[in-house]
Structures are given as C-alpha cells and as structure tokens.
Structure 1
Amino acid sequence: MRREPLSVVVITYNNADTLDACLSRVDWADEIVVLDSGSTDDTVAIARRHGARVAVHPFDDYGPQKQRAIDMASHDWVLNLDADEILSPGTREVIERALADPRHAGFRLPRRERMFWTVQHRLSWRNGHLRLFDRRRGRMNDVEVHAAVEVDGPVKTLRAADFVNDGDGDIAARVEKINRYTSGMVAHKLRKRQRFTGLRMVFYPPVFFLRQYVGKRYFLSGWAGFIASVCGAFYAFLKYAKLHEAYRRERRGQ
C-alpha cells in the first residue's frame, strides 16, 4: 500500500524501562526521531539500536521540546508519541490506510491507560488524542504540562486504532505525577484568571469521579478502575486547591 512517508517523533529522559517497547511497535515508519534531554541510563543506546536519529537538547518545557523534535522530522506527516506509549496490534494498518489518501489535517488515536496492575478495558471509553498530523498545518500549543498539537484543518478519530500509555505502574507513581502536574498547571490557570476555586474544589471532584467510573465505564476494570477514578477526582481537586492557594498568596503580595 502506497502512503505518505511518516516520521515518528519521541522525546526522552531516562526512559530505558519503556522506550524499547515503544519503538518496537513503530519500526515500520520511514523515520524515527528521538530528542533526548540528557539521559543517564540506556535510553540513547536503545534509541540507536532501533535506528532512530538521536539528538540531545536540555529540557525547558514539554511543548517546546516536542516542537523541536517535530521540527527535526524529515517528512510532513508525523506520529507524536511519548516514550511510555505503545501502539496496540492492528494500529499500524489503520494508520497506513489513513495515510494512503489523507483528507484531514490530523487524526486522533484513542488512548488506553495503564491502571496500575492492569490496562484500561477495551470496552471503556478511550479518550482520543491528536497524535498523527501534517506538521505543515500543526504545532504544539503553549499549555504548561498538558501541551498538545493544534492543527489548522479537519481532524478525524481513528476508532479502530489505539495505543496504551504504559507510564504509571503503581499507585505511588500516579500520585507523584498528580502532584507534579497540578503544580505545573498553576501558572497557566493564573493567566486565565479562573475564578470560583472554592466551588470548583467542592463540586468538580465528585462529578469527575462519576464521569470516569460510570460515564467512561472504568468500572469494567474492577478495583483498578475504581482507584484510577478516585485518583482522577483527587487530581481535579488538587489543581483547584493549588490555584486557590496561589490566589491567596497573590492577595498577600507574596
């Protein structure tokens, strides 16, 4: 099948535990680009073993670092993955069909989350993420922590494909990430001047829990789905609690 040539781009920092699995599922791509931030483990060696073109640049923020990797790509169509994300079996074929005659600026791929000792059930709701796109029509935005690609043109979700985020192997890792991510989001929310932080702290977390556990059918993953939904509600609470704290400090002139 003839298709548009594809570059896979990945940014890394000490990802030796997950990078081999990530790159093993994309070795069919025309190019793999890995932009490292100075890893001290075997990350770079693993990338080179997979034939990746490797460069090193100090990390400043997620969005700018991803954009550097995208700019390094030789081809117009880019598949943007994190080092702990793994394409599911069959996703290659779906991507290649989409690139045989692309009529969209980008494509969303559904993502399944690792829920500690298991993986999100296939019949639960999988959020679509814009990861496959024409880089002539798209760039990373400047949202702290959760920077994502934005494209100028129509986007389609490839429901028959998906990938697994294999990052959080246990509850402690999930809680640590929640703490780090919510701290990183405070500056962005301060710029947006989001208000009613008290009401958001009270009402949004239980709504978030119900949306995850019932609406997105996380209950299909058993206790892992319940714990993941509670962690999500805690994330929703903590980001507004930290924003509330920042406003209090701001009013005090701190």
Structure 2
Amino acid sequence: MGREQLSVVVTTFNSAGTLDACLRSVAWADEIVVLDSGSTDATVAIAAHHGARIHTQPFAGYSAQKQAAIDLASHRWVLLLDSDESLDADAAVPLQQALRAPAQAGYQLWRREWQFWRWQSRRGRLNHYVRLFDRQRARMSGHEVHESVLVDGPVGVLDVVIDHYGEPDIAGRVAKANRYSTLQLADLDGRQVGWLRLRMVAYPAVAFLRYYLLRGHWRSGWAGFIAARIHAFYAFLKYAKLYEQRRRQQG
C-alpha cells in the first residue's frame, strides 16, 4: 500500500552548524524545501548537497517565514522542522506508517531539548508540537514568537522524537530570552499596569516551579536547574518590558 508524498520544510539563516544533521535525518522524504533568509555561511551549500529545493527571501518574522516555506511545498503533507532540529533514528517508520492512510489532519511529535552539555532526561516531560500536517487544513498561528501550527481538524500524537539542539551554551540561551521577550510584546499587548506588577512579582516563581518540578527538568541535574532559572528570567523579562512600555506610553 502506498503512502502520501511528504515535503520536509525547513527555514534557515546561518544554520551550517546544525543543518547537515537535520537534513540527513529526513533523507527518506520525497522532497526537502529550504527557505533561506540570506545566509553568509555554508548553509545553502549544505542544503544543495542534500538535494533540497532552495528558495531565498528576506526574513519576514518567524511565523510568516515558516508559512511562506510551507506554501512552497509541492506535496499536501508537510513535516515542518527548524534547522537546529533533527529526527531521531527511529522516526522514519512511524512517520511513513502514519502517511499510508492518515487518520488525522495533523500529528504532534515529541521534542527533546539539548541543555548546555547534555540532553534533557527522557524521564522528564517532553513538549509536543504539531509538525506533521495536511497543509490544506493547516496554517501558522501568526505569533511573533512561539509560533505554532493551527490545524482545522483532528490532531493525533505520534511516538516520534525531535532532537532540538537550540542554543549551545548559557550565554546563547540568555540572549534568546532577551530577544524573544522583546518580540513577544506585540502578543502580550492589552494587559493593565496593575496586572503587570503582579505578573512581574509572582509569575517567574510559578514558571520556575512548573518547568523544574512539573516538567521534570530536575532529573537533568544542574543543566535542568540552570535551564529552569533562565526560563523564569524570561518570564520576568517579558512582563517587565511590557510594564516599561506602558509607563512610557503614559508619560
């Protein structure tokens, strides 16, 4: 029995350090589409080496760039990956099985995080995201950061793990928290100043406990503790920056 044809879609910018592993992990796909936003390193050459169909356009924002890449796919079914992600070695079989007769409009995949010098413990809670979907029934959310795939129809979960390398060190993780907290101001717009004060005081502690204890990052030792503290710092920054913005608007 045949299966649905699959387009793997990846957006890139100076992704030479991780793109080879990403594309090697999906070498079995029917098509690889790479949308680059002006890389100056070996990103485009790596994509070409893997036989990807390469397009270029200026960066339009995380959500819009990914939607543009999805729209370039030739096939109805799309697997969306970041350039610093790769599928684990056992992923091809369940993905191909799901594509033989898709029972859902989209599927969530699990994601395992690299934490500075080690992988997060598999005994901890892995996040899951919609990454395999029928593009005729799906679209990107439009958020400035933490963009997601919205599916018009039922969504299932596959026993497939994406390895996410992300930022390789603490400095990179902190820089990302600073950058993302600024970008997220547009998505947080509408909160009142009094509510923001409470958020600044209480939410970082809640974010730390949820990330460290409930998601099980305590199982990853000091790497998990540091990641949880940076996550809490990010939770503080986004509301502190919105508070600052509101105070300036009020004069």
Structure 2 unmatched ranges of 5 or more: none
1:91 is matched with which residue?
A: 91
Instruction: Output the amino acid matched with 1:220.
Output: R
Select between 9-18 and 95-104 the one with higher mean Cα deviation. Answer: 95-104
**1:60-112 deviation per Cα after TM superposition (whole angstroms, max 9, x unaligned):** 21111111110110000000000000111211111111111111110011111
Instruction: Count residues with an aligned counterpart.
Output: 249
**1:33-57 deviation per Cα after TM superposition (whole angstroms, max 9, x unaligned):** 0000111110000000000000110
Q: Distance in 2 between matches of 1:23 and 1:50?
A: 7
Q: Distance in 2 between matches of 1:206 and 1:94?
A: 39
**Aligned positions of 1:135-150 closer than 5 A:** 135-150=135-150
Q: Distance in 1 between matches of 2:50 and 2:146?
A: 28
Given candidates 191, 194, 201, the residue that maps to 2:191 is 194
2:206 is matched with which residue?
A: 207
Is 1:165 the counterpart of 2:173 in the alignment? no
Q: Distance in 2 between matches of 1:133 and 1:108?
A: 9
1:127 is matched with which residue?
A: 127
**1:105-139 deviation per Cα after TM superposition (whole angstroms, max 9, x unaligned):** 10011111110001111111011111110000001
RMSD between superposed Cα atoms in Å: 1.0
1:15 is matched with which residue?
A: 15
2:225 is matched with which residue?
A: 226
**1:172-212 deviation per Cα after TM superposition (whole angstroms, max 9, x unaligned):** 0000000000000112211xx02311111111111111111
2:71 is matched with which residue?
A: 71
Instruction: Output the amino acid matched with 2:245.
Output: A
Deviation at 1:9, TM superposition (A): 0.3
1:82 is matched with which residue?
A: 82
Select between 27-36 and 139-148 the one with higher mean Cα deviation. Answer: 139-148
Instruction: Output the amino acid matched with 2:183.
Output: G
Instruction: Output the amino acid matched with 1:24.
Output: R
SS at match of 1:136: helix
Deviation at 1:30, TM superposition (A): 0.3
Q: Distance in 1 between matches of 2:99 and 2:196?
A: 44
Instruction: Output the amino acid matched with 1:240.
Output: Y
Q: Distance in 1 between matches of 2:164 and 2:207?
A: 20
Q: Distance in 2 between matches of 1:171 and 1:150?
A: 31
Select between 49-58 and 98-107 the one with higher mean Cα deviation. Answer: 98-107
Select between 37-46 and 88-97 the one with higher mean Cα deviation. Answer: 88-97
Runs of 4 or more off by more than 6 Å in structure 1? Answer: none
Is 1:239 the counterpart of 2:238 in the alignment? yes
Is 1:176 the counterpart of 2:150 in the alignment? no
SS at match of 1:194: coil
SS at match of 2:79: strand
SS at match of 1:162: strand
**1:208-239 deviation per Cα after TM superposition (whole angstroms, max 9, x unaligned):** 11111111110111100010111111111111
Q: Distance in 1 between matches of 2:191 and 2:93?
A: 43
Deviation at 1:167, TM superposition (A): 1.6
SS at match of 1:237: helix
2:49 is matched with which residue?
A: 49
SS at match of 2:184: helix
Q: Distance in 1 between matches of 2:110 and 2:49?
A: 28
